[in-house]
Amino acid sequence: MTIRSISYGGGVQSTALLVLAAQKRIDFQLFVFANVGKDSERAKTLRYVEEYAKPYAAKHGIELVETKRVRRDGSTETLWGRLTRPGSRSLPIPVRMSNGAPGTRSCTADFKIKVVGKEMKRRGASKNDPATIGIGISVDEIHRANNRITEPHERIVYPLLDLGLRRIDCQRIIREAGLPVPPKSSCFFCPFHRPETWHDMRREEPEEFEKACQLEELLNQRREELGKDHVYLTRFAKPLRQAIPDGVDLLPMFDEADGACDSGWCMT
């Protein structure tokens, strides 16, 4: 029997898929949460998964499993750990270059796609019998839907697009199920954050904001040692502490989206 699973991100769209599965409106009884690390995911997303998503899934007979990236020696690797490892030159996240453009990234492939794919292979998925993986992209984010990044033993589908549901519909579905609407899921240091997200983080999660600032400083310290230009976590070509000033309620261009992971495996 072909494996059917949702790539669960802990955010609005994939939580709506969890409710839809519980209501038998979509045919998925397996949800896989690729946790990029307790030190990397936003704390409020991890709290939501533990306090609401997992109990709800269990109540409705849905298997929600949490997976992590495991090295060949059996140890767990987190995205934060890769970025901060002593002597590391790795830049797997889409940091902003001096012109504001995002750099290349491997974080989604290494810590989401491959981790879910490994779980699918463990469960018996193969090239000849690929697993069906549902991704939580809604109609208002249809531009994120693509099949470019996938594993050979997987087939990607978009249940929310098939049902014609928008993000606001997903929020309604979650509320009507008696669940609180989850926060937007992401790594707390993701360069794809909108300025308003950074601003809210500085005000509401100052410890995460400070850690993001320290990460940016560490990356640039290393780049200076290599004789390379600085990189940034925002498109403003200045350090995060300066780009998102403390105590300011509005910033220029707050209505302009910085973008999002275009694969749909993150921020859902």
pLDDT > 60? residue 256:
no
pLDDT band at 10 (very low <50, low <70, confident <90, very high): very high
- Cα–Cα distance, 212 to 244 (Å, whole number): 12
Q: At what angle do helices 206-225 and 195-204 cross, to 10 degrees?
A: 120
Q: How does DSSP classify residue 118?
A: H
Which helix (H) or strand (E) segment is 7 a member of?
A: strand 4-8
Average pLDDT rounded to a whole number, residues 98-114? 89
Whole-prediction pTM: 0.91
pLDDT band at 67 (very low <50, low <70, confident <90, very high): very high
Average pLDDT rounded to a whole number, residues 144-152? 71
pLDDT > 80? residue 160:
yes
Please report the pLDDT score of residue 87 as a whole number.
Answer: 87
Please report the pLDDT score of residue 255 as a whole number.
Answer: 42
CB of 188 closer than 8 Å to CB of 197: no
Please report the pLDDT score of residue 261 as a whole number.
Answer: 62
Please report the pLDDT score of residue 238 as a whole number.
Answer: 94
Average model confidence (pLDDT) for the chain?
91
CB of 5 closer than 8 Å to CB of 31: yes
As a whole-number percent, the residues of the chain with pLDDT over 90 amount to 81
As a whole-number percent, the residues of the chain with pLDDT over 70 amount to 92
| Residue 258 Cα distances to 191, 201, 212, 233, 255, angstroms | 8, 16, 17, 11, 9
pLDDT > 90? residue 123:
yes
pLDDT > 60? residue 257:
no
pLDDT > 50? residue 254:
no
Sorted by where each begins, the domain ranges of the chain are 4-243
Measured in residues, the chain has a length of 268
User: Which residue has better confidence, 250 or 183?
Assistant: 183
Q: CB under 8 Å to 108, separation ≥6 — which residues?
A: 149, 261, 263, 265, 266
- Residue position matching structure tokens 């306090």: 51
- Cα–Cα distance, 67 to 32 (Å, whole number): 7
Q: CB under 8 Å to 172, separation ≥6 — which residues?
A: none
pLDDT > 80? residue 138:
yes
Instruction: Report the range of poorest mean pLDDT among 87-96, 112-121, 122-131.
Output: 87-96
Average pLDDT rounded to a whole number, residues 23-28? 98
DSSP symbols for 40-95: TB-HHHHHHIIIIIHHHHHHTT-EEEEE--B-TTS-B--HHHHHHSTT-----S--
What are residue 134's DSSP bridge partners? 6, 157
Please report the pLDDT score of residue 266 as a whole number.
Answer: 80
Q: Which CATH architecture has domain 4-243?
A: 3-Layer(aba) Sandwich (3.40)
Average pLDDT rounded to a whole number, residues 214-241? 95
CB of 19 closer than 8 Å to CB of 60: no
- Cα–Cα distance, 263 to 57 (Å, whole number): 25
User: Which residue has better confidence, 268 or 169?
Assistant: 169
Instruction: Report the range of poorest mean pLDDT among 34-43, 65-74, 98-107, 213-222.
Output: 98-107
Please report the pLDDT score of residue 79 as a whole number.
Answer: 97
CB of 264 closer than 8 Å to CB of 237: no
